[in-house]
Chain A
């Protein structure tokens, strides 16, 4: 039996799950519903938000908030697809899904850096 490198992927999955479950809904609520409805007042204005997201700590936070749930998604879909019957091409499936998550993370990093 081969020793597995799953711990890394599982850690990303777990961390992404926590963010997706606890933080993502708050963000959707704040920036998707309450903010546009005017509930955040002046703190939702462009200059204010721009200043907030220009801070390096916020940038790091945003990257984690986007990237980790992507890896969570990749892990789930990888096993869903394998369980649906595509067992023969397991490795290719893993590479595809984690690859998409990695590309998504890199793209968001590029955007976040330029904010």
Chain B
């Protein structure tokens, strides 16, 4: 019995041999329980060992296998072939990022944006170790837990039309992460983060399209985080205008 196959149109870019990216067609074996990443691994192992891409956990946890699949940002380990079969599937690197090679994108800019919001616990004054750990109730944990689930898959940056138009926009995941620390009862860094958040490259670039939340595979809801930050920062702003003596 001949095996069933499915066509993958994969974007190739090998900077040492071509100026522009091109598409290459591969006929991969098809199995009902395979995801796109399985087919790409099959191609790499049996058809073309030169294909480059990122992956690791194969189970939607690590966030490294994001690709454009038929134009939509998805984790390739969570996109089943059967949802496309028998039609061909077009696989491209994540949109709105420069391409390093084939399906691998350059993520330096993303990493810089993430660190720009200081995503760690900031204290005006550290408690001495002898005082013990910073304690937190389950309710305090619940306030930010959802926003701490981000795995940096960058799908939201590929989905966001503002990120496409405004490369300096610090973007959904970075803002969601800032929000996560702003909501943390142990943290005192809101005013530092606001210097980055409350700018035209920060929350105010967002026009609430909401695709970041739609594509997020782990329901972080970055669009919600951005709106909540807009509200807090607007409240702070009014406080500053109405009670300037309070300072900030």
Contacts and interface: CB of A to CB of B under 8 A. Distances in A.
Interface residues of B, number: 18
Contacts, number: 39
A15 B162 CA distance: 23
A17 to B, nearest CB: 10
Given A8-B237, A83-B165, A2 B199 contact: yes
A61 interface: no
Contact of A1 (B162, B199, B207): B199
Given A10-B204, A79-B207, A4 B199 contact: yes
Nearest to B162: A83
A106 B234 CA distance: 25
Nearest to A78: B207
B195 A83 contact: no
Interface string B37-80: 00000000000000000000000000000000000000000000
A3 B238 contact: no
A7 interface: yes
A2 B200 CA distance: 7
Nearest to B116: A1
B50 to A, nearest CB: 38
Contacts of A83: 161-162, 165, 207
Contacts of B204: 4, 6, 10
Contacts of B238: 7, 11
B201 interface: yes
Interface string A72-105: 0000000100010001000000000000000000
A59 to B, nearest CB: 24
Contacts of B201: 1
Contacts of A87: 165
Interface residues of A, number: 13
Q: Is the interface of A mostly helix, strand, loop or mixed?
A: helix
Interface string B192-221: 000110111110100100000000000000
Contacts of A8: 237
Nearest to B235: A7
Given A10-B204, A83-B165, A83-B207, A3 B234 contact: no
A11 to B, nearest CB: 5
B233 interface: yes
Contacts of B145: none
Contacts of B90: none
B230 interface: yes
Closest 4 pairs between A and B when the two form their complex, measured CB to CB: A7-B237, A6-B204, A7-B234, A1-B199
Given A1-B196, A10-B204, 7 more contacts: A3-B198, A3-B199, A4-B200, A4-B204, A7-B233, A7-B234, A10-B230
